[in-house]
Homo-oligomer: A and B are copies of this chain.
Amino acid sequence: MAPRARRPERREEPLTRQRIVEAAIDVLDTAGAGGLTFRVLAERLATGPGAIYWHVAGKDELLAAAAEAVLAEALAAGAAATTPDEAIRALALDVFDAIDAHPWIGTQLALAPTRAPMLGVFEHLGRQVQALGVSGSARFTAVSALLNYILGVGGQNAANARGVDPATDRTQFLGAVADTWARLDPDEYAFTRGMADQLREHDDREEFLAGIDLVLAGITTRLTTP
């Protein structure tokens, strides 16, 4: 989509909010949330740190704008779904996949979802819940449950990605956690120990979707009158 080369980032084009946000996303994806610095960003944009402040209010806004841009793009696809259930599943998966591809969004959403991108998700979920046949006063509960679950998983994925270097394989990571679980005290942590092997083979995405289905089943059972 970008007109010319993007990486070398020379001083040809003028500094724009959009270019700053794009560069920030690139840094975040490469170096993680901890690697985004106004100095690093300034160097990448061949300017001084102060210049960025003319286009962006501060770091919080920059982070929010970056998350918003990535999430908006992820949601733009918006495959046409046949049923409300399908639509909710598809939307949830879009959010999940976006966080999976850019773990730093997870932190952003889990901790500051008031802003624009999640409002769209809330709205979208609300309409589908309505289509599901949930009556007025219960809709808020249903949407909140779905959204909080999604954000919870998002925060988790972000947490798992932090500290670990981006090259770490997921299976490898899960294996390490599973090993820890397997070494727990057999009395105090009997249940968790027993889950170790299951954790090793589990598929995050499938597990996420299974959780969505659980909430959906609860909504259908408790909040609709067929």
Contacts and interface: CB of A to CB of B under 8 A. Distances in A.
Interface residues of A, number: 57
Contacts of A113: 156, 159
A151 interface: yes
**Chain A facing B: main interface SS:** helix
A131 to B, nearest CB: 11
A216 B215 CA distance: 8
Interface in A133-173: 137, 139-145, 147-156, 158-159, 162
Given A112-B159, A151-B155, A214 B211 contact: no
Contact of A158 (B111, B114, B207): B111
Given A110-B155, A126-B191, A195-B140, A214 B222 contact: yes
Given A113-B159, A151-B155, 20 more contacts: A110-B155, A110-B156, A110-B159, A114-B159, A122-B192, A126-B195, A130-B191, A137-B198, A139-B195, A140-B195, A140-B207, A142-B214, A148-B149, A148-B156, A152-B153, A152-B154, A152-B155, A213-B218, A215-B215, A218-B219
Interface of A: 107, 110-114, 119, 122-123, 126-127, 130, 137, 139-145, 147-156, 158-159, 162, 177, 184, 188-192, 195, 198-199, 202, 207, 210-211, 213-219, 221-223
A-B CB proximity, top 8 nearest: A152-B152, A218-B218, A126-B191, A148-B152, A214-B218, A217-B218, A145-B211, A110-B155
